[in-house]
Amino acid sequence: MAASGVFVVFALLAVAAPFALYYFVRAEHDEREEMDRRDAERAARRDTRDRQ
């Protein structure tokens, strides 16, 4: 009986986990900063300059 309860819990987690990951990825996508090409290139150059 306990084994079937553990199986049900793991089955629910296996079904719910992909939906949770999808939700968190979409939430992160909505918070991204959009910029034009010039600003993106400037930010990329700034990132490489900081590493040296």
pTM here?
A: 0.51
Residue 1 is predicted with a pLDDT of 81
Tokens of 12: 């629910």
| Mean pLDDT per 10-residue interval, the chain, length 52 residues | 93 96 89 85 76 53
Of 43, 26, 25, which is closest to residue 34 (Cα–Cα)? 43
Question: Which residue is associated with the tokens 């939430």?
Answer: 27
Residue 31 is predicted with a pLDDT of 75
Residue 29 is predicted with a pLDDT of 82
Residue 20 is predicted with a pLDDT of 96
- In the chain, the amino acid numbered 36 is D
| Helix residue spans in the chain (DSSP H) | 2-30, 37-51
